Chains A and B, each alone.
Chain A
Amino acid sequence: MSTSVLAVREVSHSFGGAPVLDRIGFEVAPGEVVAFVGPSGCGKTTLLRLLSGFYRPEAGAVERRGSTRMIYQQDGLLPWLTVSENIALGLRHVAEKASREERLARLLQLIRLQGFARHYPHQLSGGMRQRVELARALAGDTSVLLMDEPFSSLDYQTRARMRAELTRVLSERPVAVVLVTHDIEEAVLLADRVLVLSERPAHVLCELRPEGERPRDVTSPALRATMKSILERLSLPHDFDGEGPKGEGESVGAPEASAWPG
């Protein structure tokens, strides 16, 4: 496993005899952000569930060093618990109360929600709820964060703010991230490596490394070239050879989620 915190070795998986994943293999180094993009229903969420240990792979192996935590596509906060109680789920293993409270306060500060500790999830906006999920996932000694299209339910502006927020949080609290997303722009903005998956049974079509340090500028020629490569690898239409970036609120060159095959 060398220095990696997560190693996936030739993992294959199926549901009801239908193959979903086909010999997927990759490693994630400490602090590295790896994004997966691919068609709808290609098995990205299944891959994350295998990485989290929720499923066992039919073939191959998943090796983890340290604990993994998940941020869900659906709202994963428990609605009957307050913000601080939700975050404290990630600190269940901390026996000493004073230490638990001190870490909780630090996490609330990290996500800038100190004044909302006693609020319930339904009293928060979508972006705030995502920040609470992030804090819960980072509580404890998390070494790998698994993110399943975490910002897909947010509007464009909140999504952009959450990307910036995630970049800031990861700079303050480095942790390895496996990000599954429909949004190619999100993948190239946040990831050190982007792995492109094929349709089912999914295998890795190619691996790309977006240039530059985070936070990145989505209009930079290098990032646009990376996005173009991804879209071409997936045989999807794009306008990167045309007039360039579109206006605010529109995805840059990438097709809408509904345009994905499958």
Chain B
Amino acid sequence: MKNARPVSYAQASLLAAACLVGGLGLWWLLSRAGLFPPSALPTPGEVAAGLGEEVRTGRLADDLVASLFRVAAGYTLAVVTSIPLGLALGHSPRWRAALLPTVNFFRSLSPLAWIPFAILWFGIGDAPVVFLIFMATFFPLVLATLAAVAEVPAVYFQVAHEYGFRGTELLTRITLPAVMPQVITALRVAGGVAWLVLVAAEMIAGRDGLGFAIWDARNGLRLDLLVCGMIVIGLTGALLDWLLSLLSKLPGVRWGYEH
């Protein structure tokens, strides 16, 4: 990164727009060049028409809402359970000795391996997808929180002891804010994983949602709608990551990103 010049907001926007236009141009050329059969690679125009159709019928909105609900449910459930468990494991050698091998075991399992059980236990619909997203994000978040606790400088705990922080207050006013910058980074990574898993889970265990829409388009040989689903998934994933990145702008955690 030696001599790397900073890029202004206007320059960055221009570069991104140029890349986007270039990408669309390349796609259009490929679809017109005859390298693939017309049924195997829709043109940008066909995809735009398909997008219009999806918006008009209301199916896109329905699928988007269904997917966002599942991600929100599974991810929130994972966050509210994994962070307290990670804090407890970080503070207690006994808890760590008891649970860390199990957490590591489940962390190593692909969440997709749970799909058969998800369908057997919860059927088809919201519940299995929520379960799969939970399984994909819970264990990495526990480990990230645990690692963050281990890295809290000892001096913070000395200060806490000196000024009388004990028990729950120690956890909520010292440990939790001390690990927040690292936990926020882990939340962004887990958010990305949740969105990835959602598509795969909905393809198999869903009756609607963006993942199911892609699968349905493939079955109906509507590749224009398939690409349309892919674009919406990509854009929504980027938007969700941007929203999560706003957490790192909070005044109480800015210190963790200043180097």
Contacts and interface: CB of A to CB of B under 8 A. Distances in A.
Interface of A: 52, 54, 69-70, 72, 74-76, 78-81, 89-90, 92, 120-122
Interface stretch (B14-22, B56-64, B161-169, B186-194): B161-169
B180 interface: yes
Contacts of B163: 89-90, 92
A121 B255 contact: yes
Interface string B70-85: 0000000000000000
Interface in B140-172: 153, 155-156, 158-159, 161-164
Interface residues of B, number: 20
Nearest to B176: A80
A201 B94 CA distance: 34
A74 to B, nearest CB: 5
Contacts of B156: 78
B252 interface: yes
Interface of A is mostly: loop
Most B-side CB within 10 Å, residue of A52, A75, A79:
A79
Majority DSSP secondary structure for residues of B touching A? helix
Contacts of A90: 163
Nearest to A146: B162
Nearest to B250: A80
B155 A74 contact: yes
B7 to A, nearest CB: 25
A76 B155 contact: yes
A74 B162 contact: no
Nearest to B255: A79
A74 B154 CA distance: 10
A87 B60 CA distance: 53
B177 A72 contact: no
B149 to A, nearest CB: 15
Contact of A80 (B162, B178, B258): B178
Contact of B159 (A76, A80, A92, A122): A76
A204 B107 CA distance: 54
A120 B254 contact: yes
Q: Which of A75, A78, A90 has the most CB of B within 10 A?
A: A78
B253 interface: yes
Nearest to A73: B155
Contacts of A120: 251, 254-255
Q: Which of A52, A80, A89, A121 has the most CB of B within 10 A?
A: A80
Contact of B158 (A70, A80, A121): A70
B174 interface: yes
B164 A92 contact: yes
A52 B251 CA distance: 32
Interface string B230-250: 000000000000000000000
